[in-house]
Amino acid sequence: MKDMFLLFFVALLAFSACTQQSDVNPLLTEWKTPFGTPPFDKINNEHFLPAFKEGMRQHKAEIRAIITNPEPATFENTIEALDYSGELLTKVTNVFFALNGANTNDEMQQIAKEIAPMLSKHYDDIGLNDTLFQRIKTVYNQKEELGLNPEQAMLLDKYYKDFIRGGANLNDTDKARFREINSELSVLTTRFGENVLKEDNNFELVIDNKDDLAGLPENVIASGAEAAKERGYEDKWVYTLHKPSWIPFLTYSEKRDLRKKIYLAYINRGNNDNEYDNKEIAAKIAALRAERAQLLGFPTHAHYVLDVNMAKTPENVYGLLDKLWAPALKRAKTELREMQAISDREGNTFKLESWDWWYYAEKLKKEKYEMDDELLRPYFQLDNVRKGAFEVAHKLWGITFTERKDVPVYYNDVKVFEVKDTDGTTLGLLYTDYHPRASKRGGAWCGAYRKQMRKDGQNVIPLISNVFNLSKPTADTPALLSLDEVTTVFHEFGHALHGLFSNGSYPRLTGTSVARDFVELPSQFMENWALEPEILKTYAFHYKTGEPIPDELIQKIKNASLFNQGFATAEYLAASYLDMDWHTLTTARPVEDVLGFEDESLGRIGLIPEIISRYRTPYFRHIFTSGYSAGYYSYIWAEVLDADAFQAFKDAGLINHKLAQSFRENILAKGGTEDPMVLYRRFRGQEPSIDPLLKRRGLE
């Protein structure tokens, strides 16, 4: 009996220990993982809310310590202390919102709704704290006497401006309204993104008649079968609103009615007058932003945003767009005439519509350039494309990438690579997540679980992520990418390099924390390398035979480089105009007819009906959820910079180590520590020219 009691007692203790262990919140403990990476295998949904609350509590205590410091305000005890504060909250926030984008669920989305106003209030409490602002102001007024280095001076300027732009100079009444606006915006922008995700996942084009697959390549048919199998359909094919699904379908399907069905579903996301409708939400977001800007003394939200970007004013943005619009539209109309001629020769009597563009553009490409994307796809195996991007970075900067299988990941598809510099030191880690799933929002993006910084004399390495929605492998083939997907891999890798090469002290300024219209330079710069002949030869191998891509196909890629540029430029510029029009509104009253507003915006520039704006208002996540409001133009401005920058490499020789080192030191490593135009001129030795961009797009 005594032995039985002893065994029972030991078992009880063991159970108690396990229970206590399971009660430990991994977000609130020191991470003993390699490189201090997030322990995804231990983090559950229930851990987030308590961790957010504890993070905010600690952050408040740190701010209180700055405010109540009896010593006079200095750069170190106020500005530096402020920048390094909130470490736990930042850690929790980075992990949560990364997962909410890449591997979400209903419970996480509910937490996001709950936490959004709490975070908004928390940061408003800091940004609107007059005592803290007065300490910052004291240091700012003494900046000429402090002997600060350029990075410290920039940090001081940033925080002073942040507080001014965050309402610190408002009176009490306006501060109260400012808080209300920020709280409401935090909820609305979260809802907007969730609604688009729901609309993405709610649509299925289910095909049960094999005849309806006419025109689709074998790999597109196979991916449709795989998607059907995942959804429990027997002997059927499913196509969705994820890019790797709907774009090939529109490009190759001979069934015009089905092309129309999937395309209309795509362009009407958030516009179906259901529970996920985003029209009123978008109008309310724009109105609240206009009101907030005017509280801060700016005529419009666009003036508020652009004041700290390279463009500076809405007039400058519209000026850039106008320079490109006329030649882009002219070229698009020529492309349309050429495609209509093909349709007419086929004996069709209909006028081409927007859902026909992809299909007839592909026919025109084959006719004009003897180019078929499906002939290229076998040469673009995902693993090889990734290795190709890594190899470009190795050739330019000598860095290496080694897969680490001991680092916890949040999904079994995710891979982690340790990135080392030429001297063997670790620059950081890169997480890659390539394929679509219902738990992931659409698009491709780069994020950071932890930014690079130097703290307490120690360099903290960055943890960077690249997330995509690329073509998936099938039962018979590995993941084979389209040409567009290849450049997307290189694009997001460019963002990753910006984070990995970061070499600064303060998190407010490191990595991609730069002006919105400068942040796309590294990513778009890297796109240039993807299709250069000597680079293609290093990674484009046929997945079956291992043969390198033949010169004939490389020449066809080059010949077709100007193909469809009228369409691509026009649909992008249309979205940029739409963004600017929403954010140059001067009224705080929501627009009543959202689609009417959109039609008027696009009508002013003369967009032809056969081209739909790349993003329509109800699903324009870039500007209503993702920080690109009054900033979508930045992609084309960054393309001016990247085309000009790459021209330097073409002139000097693609693999030019001296030039590459200058790009690393002056662009990639600097983050936001200096004025972006100063950094660019230091690298290039001159102002950027628009000519290389016009030449690249055939818009001269």
Residues of the chain with CATH 1.10.1370.40: 378-562+634-696
Q: What fold does the segment set 34-169 form as a domain? A: Glutathione S-transferase Yfyf (Class Pi); Chain A, domain 2 (1.20.1050)
Query: Helix or strand or coil: residue 255?
Result: coil
CA distance 514 to 634: 12
CA distance 415 to 434: 9
Report the candidate in 359, 552, 366, 374 with the shortest Cα–Cα distance to residue 480.
374
pLDDT confidence of residue 372: 87
For 496, the enclosing helix (H) or strand (E) is helix 483-500
Which CATH number is 279-371+566-624's, of 3.30.930.10, 1.10.1370.10, 3.90.79.10, 3.40.50.2020? 1.10.1370.10
Burial class (CB in 10 A: 0-12, 13-18, 19+), 6: exposed
pLDDT confidence of residue 18: 42
Handedness of CA 385, 391, 396, 398 (dihedral sign): positive
Q: Which two tokens stand for residue 175?
A: 């501060």
Report the candidate in 245, 242, 241 with the shortest Cα–Cα distance to residue 225.
245
pLDDT confidence of residue 699: 85
Q: What fold does the segment set 378-562+634-696 form as a domain? A: Neurolysin; domain 3 (1.10.1370)
The rounded Cα 380 to chain-centroid distance in angstroms is 23
CA distance 96 to 118: 14
Spatial contact of 92 and 51, defined as CB atoms under 8 Å apart: yes
Residues of the chain with CATH 1.10.1370.10: 279-371+566-624
Burial class (CB in 10 A: 0-12, 13-18, 19+), 130: middle
Ranges of the chain with pLDDT below 50: 1-21
CA distance 166 to 129: 10
Geometric angle at alpha carbon 66, from 63 and 68, rounded to 5°:
105
Spatial contact of 134 and 71, defined as CB atoms under 8 Å apart: no
pLDDT confidence of residue 15: 42
Spatial contact of 490 and 526, defined as CB atoms under 8 Å apart: yes
Spatial contact of 600 and 582, defined as CB atoms under 8 Å apart: no
Strand-pairing partners, residue 417, are 403, 430
pLDDT digits (tens, 9 = 90+) for 41-84: 999 999 999 999 999 999 999 999 999 999 999 999 999 999 99
Residues of the chain with CATH 1.20.1050.40: 34-169
User: What is the residue-wise DSSP string for 298-322?
Assistant: -SSHHHHHHTTSSS-SHHHHHHHHH
CA distance 404 to 418: 6
pLDDT confidence of residue 13: 41
C-alpha distances (whole Å) from 551 to each of 534, 542, 543, 556, 574 are 10, 13, 17, 9, 36
pLDDT confidence of residue 23: 75
Q: Left, alpha or beta for 214 (phi > 0: left; psi -120 to 50: alpha)? A: beta
Q: Which two tokens stand for residue 535?
A: 């680079």
pLDDT confidence of residue 336: 98
Contacts 24+ apart (CB under 8 A), 85-89: 85/59, 86/55, 86/58, 86/59, 86/62, 88/28, 88/51, 88/54, 88/55, 88/58, 88/59, 89/52, 89/55, 89/56, 89/58, 89/59, 89/122
Active site residues: 492
